[in-house]
Structure formats: structure tokens, C-alpha cells
Amino acid sequence: MIMAEEKEKKKKRKPSKKKKKLYIILLLIGFMVLGILSYFGYDWYEKNTLQALKKINTENVITKKIAKLYNEKKKVVGTLEKGFTLSLEKVKSPTTKNRYLKIKDSNYYIYYKDIKKASKEKEKENSYYLPLQKEIETKKEVTLYDGKKEMVNIKQSIQASVEKKDEKNYYISFLGKTLRIEKKEVAKEKEAKEEIKGKANHVSVIFYDKIKNNCGEDTTCLKPASVKAHIKRLQKEGYYFLTKEDFLNYIKGNINVKEKAIFMAINEESEEAKKVTEETKVPLEKIEEKDGYQLMVTNKTATPNEKEKTINCYQAKSYTIIDNYVRMANGEDVADNGKETPNDQRIAVINYHFFYDGTFDTSCNETICLEKAKFQEQLQWLKDNGYKTLTIEEFADWMDGIIELPQNSVLLTVDDGGHGTGTQNGNILIPLLEEYKMHATLFLITGWDWKISDYQSPYLDIQSHSYNLHYEASCPDGRGLVACSDYQTVKTDLQKSLDIIRDNTSFCFPFYSYDRESLQAVQELGFRVAFIGGSVKARRTDNHYLIPRFPIVDDITLNEFIWMVS
């Protein structure tokens, strides 16, 4: 009885043939669905991977986490910390087969999931450093630091050129970043075979004893405005300025710097000196006893020599001419034999108008037209006799007592912008200035048909000659229109001129005509100097808004020109 019941139960548990078929069908359907999902899922995954690769196919990326560093065989050789900025080699056509991306200028790779596009451009390293002529080979496992933070751990020996060093560390370029490695982790050090091109063989130190607003008769004291003018001139000549830390590292042989480096040293850390640094972004710093060095005025350049405890320097004096700062920076001998320019120095301001070439042009028949050959003869004489032709800023700085100029200095000015002065009307002036490398200032009538773009040259400064007030004999007494126009008319006209020129260093009164109201307008618009006629040399004691000039006419002889200038 019991056995019969058990047989009946087994019968009930055993599935029927229909159920078996149903199970098989459901199983097949499941496999098909799974296959379809896998196919589309893989396709979706591939598309997203490709999209991610395209997104980071850019030069600058950053690690999202601690990222593994791979060699060419895709073997892990180290790690990079989170936030490490890298430059990648761009791929023309990214594919999902290449998920390990090559780091620029290296044999290393990084996995695409470990990086993202950098939100800002990679910060550039200090542009004036050059590597030392040294190479190192590290031990087989090393750590590289950015400051005190660990940035790279690498499990293989690396070779690198040394960017700089100190007592305990080398600084090497690794994956586009200058990183610190402790000297104890270096296995070998040797001199590099290739000479470092463009490195400075010396650095000029310009020493300022005092920088104050009120110097009195102290010739070792200079005004802040003077120091700023020196800096501006040196920057114009392509020089750059080292911090004290970098300069002392250069002296110790810890770094190389590019040519045209200068260190600006001071003796007193005054508020005026701090303000100059704030305004110019150029460090003015004091060499102190704790630095282990002292400055010595030798009028020679400083060179790397860790054993010596004195540093050569040039001393700035109140009477040092502006050009001598360039000579100092260049490492030239600058003799200090007393004042190079007298206190009552006078400078000729020459006033030209139009130019023509007499060999084929006879259309310029005014007395203020100068033949090209005569102008060329005058420039040649200035060159042969060592004259400095001034920029308008140099002249204004001299008038304000900010800078000193060579005794043989002259300011060449040209009025109006007419015949032979620009590209649209003969262009005799600019080619000759550029040929002789001499400066001039053009006072342009901005409201007439001439454009500033017609007069572009590094040797020609453009200044205001009014917008539309250049009319002769317009006043009852025969003077030019400026002299009998009211204050507001003059000020409005000059402002329109300034809106075009965008430089209010100087102004030239049309036809040398002015009155009290026009002088007031010129001053209130911030012009530093203004010019008239007068046929005498300019001096600092002159009214800065009534500076005399020598007019040049067509029948001038070379001897007359020499008399004006010298």
C-alpha cells in the first residue's frame, strides 16, 4: 500500500512532455533576450567609450584619482597623484582599441578612465629658467615631489636633465612638470654633453641706494618715477628681472637663466620702493648679511661663483643718463666720472612740416617743404656726431626731471601729417627714420582726411595737433583759431583728438597760437608738455606748455641746422 502511494507521488512530480517543451522554449527565449541585450549593451558601451576617448583627445588633461602609469608594454611602472596635469599626444582618429593614451614627449601611457579634460590650461613653468648642464640617473624606485606633496611614485630608474638644484634636492622635468627629487635617491650624476644655448653668462645688478620722493642734493637718491622709467626702458630693450631668491641661486650655480637677466637691488626697503614694485611687478630687494653675500660697486657684472662672498654691481646715481642703464644691463663699462650732463642742459626741438623728393616731385612749393636730400643730410650729420634722437616720452620725462639724457640729444618733430609724411602722401619721412634708426614725433591733425594707420612705425610717435582747429589767421589779430576759441570749444576738440590718438603725452599748438583758456584746456586734459615756436633750445625751467622749437624752412643750410642743434 505504501509503495503504491510513493509511486503515485513520483508520477505527479515528473513533468509532462508538454511542460518540458515549454521550459526549453522559455530557456531559448531567455538566451535570445540575453544575447540581444548583450549586443546592444556592448554597442552602447563601445559608443560611450569612444565618446569618452574623443572628449579627452585634447592636449591638457588631469588625473581624476591616483592613476597608474604604464610603459609601452602597458605594464604598470608607477602612479600619479590625483590632480596631476598632463599633456597628451593627440590622436587623429580615436578608436576603442587604444584606451591607453600616450603622454606627450615621453614613453609613458595612462588609462583613459583615470583622466578628464582639464578645466584650464596647464600652467607654464617659469619661462626664464634653463636647465643646468647636468644629468642624473635615479635609483630603481623613487618618489617625486611638488613642493612637499608627493606627486609621482615610480618603480624604475629614470634619466633626466637637471632644471635646478639646492643643497638637498634636484629639480627635474618629468611629464612636463618640474618636480623635486631628493639627492639621496639619485644613483649617478654627470655633466651633460650638449651646451645649453641661450643661457646668461652674467647678470647685471643695478643698485639703488635710496628711493624717495624728496632727495634734495643727494646724488645716490632717486625718485620712484625715475626708477619706473629705468624699468620701462629696460623692458623695452627686452630685459627681464630676477627675484632675489633666483638671483642668489644663479650666483651659487643652482640654476641657469636666459640671457638679458637683471637683478634690481636696493639698500633701504622704503615705502616708495615697495610702491614701485607693486606698480611695475618688478622685485626691488635687499641683499642682507644673512644671505651670505654683500654688494660691491665695481661697475661690472655678477657671475656664478659660490666661493666669492661679494657680488659686483652698478650703482644708479641721480645724474646717470637713461642710455647708461641699457649699457649696464648689457654688461658694458659705465664710467662714473661725475655729472655727465650739466644742470642747465638745453635740448633743441626741431620743427619740420612737409617733405618732397626734388628728383621727380615739384608739387610741394611751400617754404615749409624740405627736400629729401637735405633731410637725409641732416640725419646723417646727427648719426655721424653721436646724437640721440628722443622719443616724446623721453623728452617729457627729461622735462619733468625723471630721467637724464646725453648732452647730444635732440627732439625731431613734424607738424600736420601732410606731404611726404605718410603712406598716403609720399612716405619720405618714415623710410628715412627707419633707415637711420632715428626717432621723431608727428603732431597729427586727426579731424582731417589722414588716418593714424598711414603713419605706423616704431620710430614715429603720434601726438595731437588738434582735431579740427588748424586754421590760420582766424582771429581778429591774425592768430590761429585756437587762440580765439572759447575754453569749451578747445577742450572738446582736443578730447576728440585724444579719443583717436589715445596718448596725451604732448600737444602742439596749431600755428603756435594760444591763449589763457586754451592753455587751461591742455593742462586739464592731462597733457604733460606742449609746443609752440621760438627758435631757442628747450630747458627744464621753461613753461612745460610753451616749449620753443626751431622751424625748418626750404632754404636752410647744413651749417644753420648744426647751429640749431649744437
At 214 the pLDDT is: 92
Q: What is the pLDDT of residue 183?
A: 92
Please state, in angstroms and rounded to a whole number, the distance separating the CA atoms of residues 82 and 77: 17
Element (H, E) at 171: strand 169-174
Residue 512 pLDDT > 60, yes or no?
yes
Cell output for 479:
592768430
Distance in angstroms (rounded) separating the CA atoms of residues 22 and 29: 11
Per-residue DSSP letter, 160: E
pTM of the model: 0.80
Task: Tell me what the mean pLDDT of segment 54-62 comes to.
Answer: 73
Confirm if 176 and 225 have CB atoms less than 8 A apart. Answer: no
Sequence-separated (6 or more) residues with CB below 8 Å from residue 125:
177, 178
How are beta strands 204-208 and 310-315 bridged, if at all?
A: parallel
Cell numbers representing residue 296 in the block? 660691491
What integer is the mean pLDDT of 133-158? 91
The H-assigned helical ranges of 109-151 are none
| Mean predicted confidence (pLDDT) in 132-154 | 92
CA 329, CA 333: separation in Å to the nearest integer?
A: 10
pLDDT score of 44: 47
Checking if the pLDDT of 463 tops 60, the result is: yes
Q: Cell numbers 612745460 label which residue?
A: 544
306 or 496, which is more confident: 496
- For residue 405, give the DSSP letter: -
Q: How far apart are CA 82 and CA 85, in angstroms?
A: 9
Least confident range of 120-124, 216-220, 239-243, 295-299: 120-124
Q: Looking at 66-130, which runs of residues are DSSP E strands?
A: 67-70, 76-80, 85-87, 100-102, 109-111, 115-117, 129-130
Question: Contact 283/227 with Cβ under 8 angstroms?
Answer: no
Residue (of 185, 201, 144, 189) closest to 162 by Cα position:
189
Helices (H), 281-371: 322-329
H or E stretch covering 16: none
**What confidence score (pLDDT) does residue 39 get?**
45
The alpha carbon of 566 is separated from its chain's Cα centroid by a whole number of angstroms, namely: 38
Q: Is the pLDDT of residue 90 over 90?
A: no
In this predicted structure, what is the pLDDT of residue 37?
46
Helix, coil or strand: residue 7: helix
pLDDT at 360: 75
| Torsion angle of C-alpha atoms 126, 127, 128, 134, degrees rounded to 10 | 80
Whole-number average pLDDT of the chain: 89
Enumerate residues 6+ apart whose C-beta is below 8 A from 417.
Answer: 442, 444, 445, 448, 450, 454, 455, 465
Residue 327 has pLDDT above 60, yes or no: yes
Q: What is the pLDDT of residues 528-549, one digit of tens each?
A: 999 999 999 999 999 999 999 9
Calculate mean pLDDT across residues 301-325: 92
Section 146-164 average pLDDT: 91
| pLDDT higher at 35 or 352 | 352
pLDDT digits (tens, 9 = 90+) for 417-453: 999 999 988 899 999 999 999 999 999 999 998 999 9
Query: How far is Cα 7 from Cα 397, in angstroms, rounded to an integer?
Result: 121
Give the pLDDT mean for 170-196.
Answer: 89
**Sign of the torsion formed by the C-alpha atoms of 497, 499, 502 and 503:** positive
Specify the pLDDT at position 35.
53
Say yes or no to pLDDT of 252 above 80. Answer: yes
| Type of residue at 386 | G
For residue 229, how many C-alpha atoms fall within 13 Å in the half-sphere facing its CB? 25
* pLDDT at residue 338, rounded to an integer: 56
Give the least confident one: 197-201, 376-380, 524-528.
197-201
Cα–Cα distance for residue pair 96/456, rounded to 1 Å: 54
Task: Mean pLDDT check: name the lowest of 17-26, 249-258, 485-494.
Answer: 17-26
DSSP bridge partners of 138: 186
Nearest to 169 by CA among 152, 190, 149, 185: 185
Q: How confident is the model at residue 340 (pLDDT cuts 50, 70, 90)?
A: low
Position 42 pLDDT exceeds 50:
no
Q: How much of the chain exceeds pLDDT 90, in percent? A: 68
